[in-house]
Amino acid sequence: MSLEDVRSALGIPLHYLQAMESGKSRLVADEFYLIPFLRRYAEFLDLDPATTVAQFLGDAAREESRGGAIRGVEAERGSQWLWIAVGGAVVVIVALWLILGRG
């Protein structure tokens, strides 16, 4: 199945699908939309959405940390916010998983 077929079936913009497939979250300007799209895509592929999101975000955080030397205070703050977002997303996913009785 092509990404265009998936785009048509799920209504996820093609650039989000390309970012998810390549594992490059920085290709997506707004990660607010990325996580719900990633969950929908994982369900479509019969993958566990919580595990898929956590793995993608962990990989994105590692990619960010390997990106080279961080220059300036603003860049460092951006990296800190990424880790906070990753941690918060994992906490929310685990909480929802437990609340929904899958734990």
Q: Any residues with CB less than 8 A from the CB of 26 and at least 6 apart, and which?
A: 60, 63, 64
Place of tokens 């994105």: 60
Provide the 8-state DSSP code for 29: S
Closest by alpha carbon to 64, among 53, 52, 77, 49?
77
Where residue 14 falls among pLDDT bands split at 50, 70, 90?
confident
Provide the 8-state DSSP code for 26: G
Residues 100 and 44: their CA atoms lie apart, in Å, by 20
CB half-sphere exposure, 31, CA atoms < 13 A: 15
pLDDT tens digit sequence for 18-29: 877 876 655 455
**Is the predicted pLDDT of residue 59 greater than 50, yes or no?**
yes
